[in-house]
Structure 1
Amino acid sequence: MVTESPPETGAPTTPRRGGFARLWTATTFTALADGLYLMVLPLVALDLTQSPSLVSGIRVAQTLAGFAIGLIAGYLVDRYNRKRLTIHANVVRGACMLALAVAAGADGLTLPMLYAAAFLIGVAETITDTAEQALVPMVVDKERLGRANSRIYGAQTVLNDFVGAPLGAALLALSTAVALYTPAGLYLAACVVLLPLAGRFTAQHTEPLGSIWTGIGEGVRELRKDRDLFGLAVFQSGTQFVNMAFFAVFVVFAVGSSSAMGLSEFGYSLLITAAAAGAVTGSVCADRVIGRLPGRTVLLLMTGGLALCFGVPAASSQPLVVGAALAVSGFVTAVGGIFTMSFRQALVREEMLGRVTAGSRMLSLAARPLGALAGGAIAQLASPRVLFVFLALLMVAAVPLVWRITAALRSFPGSAP
C-alpha cells in the first residue's frame, strides 16, 4: 500500500474513544470565532468608510477565497495529515485576527488590511471545513456519523446565528481591539484542543497520488461518475440557488414601513431567528430522522419544506405565519444537509473524500451568487411576491426530478433501507 506521506507511527486504524469530543470542541471554538469575525469585520470597516460597496468587500474577499482554493483544498486534505492541516489553517486564522487586533490597538487599521485578512481567513476556512468533514469518519464509526454530524451542525448553527453576532457587537462596544483579540484566541484555542488527538489522519492510497491537477481531476471524475453522489451534489447546489434567491430579496419584502410586512430591523432579526431555531431543532432530530426514513423521503421532505417556505410569504404577510414557514424550512434544510454530509462520508473512499467534498462544495458556492442575482432580477422586473411564487412552483416542479435522482439511492450504515 502506497501512502503520499509517512504513516503516523503507532497510529490506530480505527476511531479512538474521545476523538470526536476533541474534534467537536475544536469546531465549537472555531464556529464561535467565525460568528464573531463575521459580525465584527464589516462593522470595523464601517468605521473606516460609509461606502456600502467598500464594506461589502469584506464578504466578497471571503467568498473569492473559497472559489480560489476550493478544489485545491480537497487535494491537500487527501494528500496530507488532516489534523495538521486543520491546526495550521486555524493558526493562520488566529494570526490574521491577532494582526488586526494589534493594528487596531495602534490606530493603524486600514481597509486593505481588512480585505487581506478576510481573504486569508476565507482560504484557511475552506481548508478547515473540508478537512474537518474528512476527519469525522476517522474518529467516528460509520453507524454514528449521523449523530456526530448532527452535533457539529447544531453547535455551529447556535454559535454562528445566536451567539456570535450579539457577542461580537457587545465586544465591539468595549473596544475594537477586544473584539478582534477574542476570535484570535478562540482559533488558537481550537489548535490546542486538537494537538493531543491521537490517530491516523493521513489518507492511505492504493495508488500514488499524482500532481495537484491530476489529483483534482480524479476527484471531479469520482464525483461525476457516481450517480448518487453527483445527484446529491446537484440537489444541494439547487437548494443553495433557490435559498439565496429568496433571502437576497426577502429583506425588501419584510423590512420598512412601505414593505409588505412592515417590520423593523429588530423584528426582521427575530423572524430570521425562527429559521435558525428550526435548523437547530432539525440538527437535534436529524440522527433519528435519517435513521428511520429512506434517503429519498428525507430529500422529498426537504423539497416540500422549501416550497412551503417560499409559498407562504407569497400568500400571507403575517409575521407568525411566515416565521412558522421559515422554521419548517430551517428544520428540513438541516436534516437534508446532515443526511447528505453523512452519506458522502460513509460511502466515499478515504483517499477521495477530501476531493469529492471539495467538488460538492464548489457546486454549492457557484450556485449562491447566481441565485442572489437571479432573485434580484426577477423581483426587480416583477415583485418579491412573484419571485416567491416562482420559487415555490420551481420546488414543486422539482419533485419528479428529486424522485428520479434518488430512485436507487443507497443507504449508509444506520439509515433506513
Structure 2
Amino acid sequence: MAHKLTLDFLKTEAASGAVLGLAAIAALVVANSPLSEAYFYWLKSEHLFQAGPLQLELSVSEWIKEGLMAVFFLVVGLEIKYEILKGELSDPKKLVTPIVAALGGMLAPAGLYLLVSGVLGGPHDGWPIPLATDIAFALAVFALVGKGLPSSLRVFLLTLAIVDDLGAIALIAVLFSTGVDWMLVGAASLLLLVGSVMSLRRIIAPVWVLGFALVWWLSVKAGLSTSLAAVAFAAIVPVSPRADDKQSPLKEAMHDLHPYVAYLVLPLFAFAKAGVSFAGLSIDQMFAPLVLGVAAGLFIGKQIGVMGAAWLVSALKLGARPSGASWLQIYGVSLLCGVGFTMSLFIGALAFPGAVDSPEQVEVKLGVILGSVLSATLGGIVLSVASNRKRASRASSKPITES
C-alpha cells in the first residue's frame, strides 16, 4: 500500500509538470502582451473576504500566496507525515544518503549565492531562494527521460525533495514570520491541540475543513507563515484508519486534495508569479547580482551540494547509493534538484515583499527561471544519456540465440 501511494504521488506530480510549464509560459506571454497592464492590475487588486466576525482583505497575489499555497503546504505536510510513519522515510537506513544530500543541496546554493552577491554587491536577503526543489517539475523531467532507470532513483529524488521542503518550511517559519501576534499564535496552537485530541475519535470531513480554515485565518492575522500552520495542521491528521473506516483521514485527504493542488493551485501560482514583463528591461537588470546569485545557486550550487554530499556519504560508508543506480544517474538527479521554480518563487516573494512587478521581484523571477531551465535541460540530457547506456548495456548482455 505504501508503494502504491508513492507511485500514485509520482504519477500525479509528473503529469502536473506539463500543466505547470504551460501556466508559466502563459504568464510570460500575457505579461508581454497588450493584456500586460490588466494582468498586473488584477494581481494587485484587493478583495475582501468576510464570514461573520471573520474578515480578511488581501490582493489577488496575496490570496494565491497565503491562501491557495497553504493548501499546497498542507498536502506537503501530509506527504511528509506519511513517508516518515509508513513510507520510505520510515526506514532509517534509507534516509541517510538522501537526507545528507538534501542538506548539501541547501548549504551549497546558499553559500554560492552569498559569494556571488558579496562579490557583485547584491542583496544578501535572497540566499534562501535557491534552496528548495520543485517536486512537480523535477519529476516531470524525470518521467520524460527516465525510462528504464531504476525506480529507487525516483524515490531518491522524491525523498530529497521532501527533505528540501522541510528545510524550506523551517526557514520560512524562522525568517519570514515577522511582527507576530503571539496571542493569536496561542489561539491557533490551542485549536491544534484540541484538534489533536479530537483526532483520536472519528471526525467528519467538514470539521477538518473548518478547523484548517480557522487555523489558517489565525495564522494570517497573527503574521505567522501559513506554510508552517498548514504543516502543523497536517501533523494532527490521523495516519491510521478509525474504527470501521477503510481508509485513514490522512490518505483520504491526500487522495482528495492532491489533484487540485497539482492541477489548479500550483499552475495558478505559476501563472501569478512567473509573469515577467521584458518591456524596458535593461541588460544591467538581466545580469543583476540578484539574478546571477539565484541562477548560480540553483544551477551550480544544487548539483555541487547534492552530488558532493551523496558521494561523501558513500565514500565514508555512512550510507549507500539508491539500489541499481550509477553515479551518472545520481548526477542527473542532482541537476534536477536545481529546478526550484514554484518553491523558489514563493520564497522570493517572501524575501522581497512588494509589488509583483517591482525590480526585485522581476530579478527574482529571471534568476529562478534561468536557473531552473538550465538545471532541467542539463539534467534531462544527463539522465537521457544514462538511460540509453542502461538499455544498450542490457541489450549487449542478452545471449545470442541460434536460429
Same fold by TM-score greater than 0.5: no
TM-score by length of structure 1 reads 0.32
TM-score by length of structure 2 reads 0.33
More helix by share: 1
